[in-house]
Amino acid sequence: MTTPAVSFEVFPPRTVGAAFKLWDAAQALAPLAPRFFSVTYGAGGTTRDLTHDSAHVLHRTSGLPVAGHLTCVGASRAETMEVADKFAEAGIKDIVALRGDPQAGTDKFVPHPEGFADSCELIEALAKTGKFTIRVGAYPDPHPEAADQQANIDWLKRKFDAGADEALTQFFFEADTFLRFRDACVKAGINKPITPGILPVVNWTSARKFAVKCGTPVPEWVDQAYEAAIRDDRHDLLAQAMCTELCSELIDEGVDALHFYTLNRAELTRDVCRAIGVTPQVDLSDVA
């Protein structure tokens, strides 16, 4: 089995305790030589400053590439590009460009009166600067706001045409979901990298709620497996086995990079990586 490249997503901490969890996760995962860490925005852009500060500190202390998330929500074009400039000044040359979730108290994305109307406009503006590697989101299952899966694929193609370099997918539970999506994208003329997003399930109840919220179907067999595992106190064992099998199936089908949603919890992600042959490559000595 070919050893894949890996990358890891973390979220910015809101408390001192959460900050220690983030740095502990970074210290545990950085020796696996990830292509990059990505640092998310909160819903509605609520952690914009925390995202910038966390990305800056993580880049400075680890010496590894860091991708800051940037969305269109709740800000003018000028304010959004100011955040991008701050990323560049901090040495962060990777951005995950997203439309973003609706702001708190709303159920639909409404552009700022002076802001970007959608992710494609944001991508075009970032690409014109020539400063960044631009990554975008992709949906192997239909996005809740998409008419159908073809609409997802058409929208992804627009993102690449606007200047995106790579797509990172929403998580999924079965390898065939991603493989069908990858084939459909190739058929649509998309020839840039599409990296599957992998969610090691730390807590099944939370993961299932999140899947439902973002339109990710939960196969019946997965539900049944976790119900039995929780009853038998084998949740973590099942989570590692299922995630490892999913990654192995993808690798066997030619996938050469995986993006892990860590939830700032390194243990399960690290164990899965080691199971698929991703072993420590470097030491990280100054993460604090």
Q: Mind listing the pLDDT tens digit for each residue in 155-204?
A: 999 999 999 999 999 999 999 999 999 999 999 999 999 999 999 999 99
Query: What is the rounded average pLDDT for all residues in the chain?
Result: 88
Catalytic residue among 9, 166, 227, 267: 9
SS3 labels along 82-111: HHHHHHHHCCCCEEEEECCCCCCCCCCCCC
pLDDT for 288 beyond 50: no
Q: What is the pLDDT of residue 44?
A: 45
pTM over 0.85: yes
- For the segment 46-73, the average pLDDT, to the nearest whole number, is 79
Strands 66-71 vs 94-98: parallel, antiparallel or unpaired: parallel
| 9 annotated active-site | yes
Q: Which of 5, 23, 27, 28 is nearest to 13 (CA)?
A: 23
Whether residue 136 is predicted with pLDDT greater than 80 in this model: the reply is yes
Q: How many residues does the chain have?
A: 288
Q: What pLDDT score was predicted for residue 146? A: 65
